[in-house]
Homo-oligomer: A and B are copies of this chain.
């Protein structure tokens, strides 16, 4: 281990350094996250209960909170080699522009056609569905990154793929639909008239622009009522964080190669998939008392589940047909203001991350979207990558922390997750450029009203 080695602009691992095992952070948690609860009986759900919704092997992963490492199947590793290892980039240009003594690194997960880290879990979920002999899967997508990732994975394994896309994103991102179509998926704007829950929501809120929670309800309804189909989800679940641990494992291997120990690790947090994956091995060390890191989750002020939500059991979906998860939540009926273009629109948060936050292992910061797009543009101009709005939440706070270092003169090492690219977010960028982008912060009353409808346990 040497700290004097010159750090390249991009640290690429070789293909045989792609992790061959996922790391299951829960195994190292003393306070385990609560399991999913049955929405009817309010009892922990068994594998049998979950069978109509999820693939068998994914249920096993969902419930396993003791095995620290889980072998990645050969077929998934074969697919990972299509776009992994992902580079860990030293942000030399950004550091120079900011004039900060901080050393900034970002793990860039956008170098694949889905444009984000979501592919890491999509390929795993599609693989297990295929292995089980299923015909297809259903899912929801917000910004469209998860839907695109799943379409790619399904095309590869020859599975049918039905995507329910949050209506506001469907309209703002017409080309996302076409990419999914290139990969053979069907894409329906949600809420739709195709499902009972969609029809009910449309009747109640005729002008609604949709929400992830509502799209989830529709996808689950279709999966459980169609022979040979299961539902898959791109975030929140334990299994997803497990698959996403490849991000953190690669990051740690790359840092270790150069003897670099991060002081601060930053990630955007919607459902928590990227943040959970990025921090996994570092948080493992922290839980085991082997090292300490500041870990910061960044969320939008318009959907502040960590910073203004309640730690409680709640539905993962608006339709209240999904299992209950114990998590930080704004209430399953919470729908972010329509002017919000920055992604990360989910009302809740991964139970794993919620537990860690509750237990004081990480911090959370909420930021306004105009300041997020400012950071995005600054980053794009000097680092040459057009970031997704979601990822730009992490950029915002990384820049803020680097500027604090400038004031104090500290040369801290900051690592953040750059989850994806913004090629399909140009409507939002256009709003920002034309000065039409506004910020919205929900009132205490709005949040209280939504939280008041949490299920009584």
Contact = CB atoms under 8 A, between A and B. Distances in A.
A128 interface: no
Interface in A135-177: 152, 155-156, 174-175
Interface string A39-69: 0000000000000000000000000000000
Interface in A30-44: none
A408 to B, nearest CB: 28
Interface stretch (A229-237, A377-385, A443-451): A377-385
A205 interface: no
Contact of A182 (B10, B81, B156, B377): B377
Contact of A380 (B81, B182, B382, B384): B182
Given A8-B14, A14-B8, A93-B82, A382 B113 contact: no
A132 B291 CA distance: 52
A15 to B, nearest CB: 5
Interface string A389-400: 000000000000
Interface stretch (A276-284, A314-322, A342-350, A419-427): A419-427
A112 interface: yes
Contacts of A433: 178, 181-182
Q: Copy number in this complex?
A: 2
Contacts of A383: 82
Find the residue from A178, A184, A383 having the highest chain B CB count within 10 A.
A178
A330 to B, nearest CB: 31
A386 interface: yes
Nearest to A90: B81
Interface string A170-202: 000011001101111000000000000000000
A384 B154 CA distance: 11
A227 interface: no
Given A15-B10, A111-B111, A423-B424, A179 B386 contact: yes
A429 B8 contact: no
Contacts of A111: 111
A361 interface: no
A192 to B, nearest CB: 20
Contact of A83 (B12, B184, B382, B384): B384
Nearest to A112: B384
10 contacts: A8-B15, A9-B82, A82-B93, A111-B111, A113-B380, A175-B424, A181-B429, A181-B430, A182-B377, A423-B424
Closest 10 CB pairs between A and B? A175-B426, A423-B423, A9-B81, A178-B426, A82-B384, A113-B386, A155-B381, A178-B430, A8-B15, A12-B12
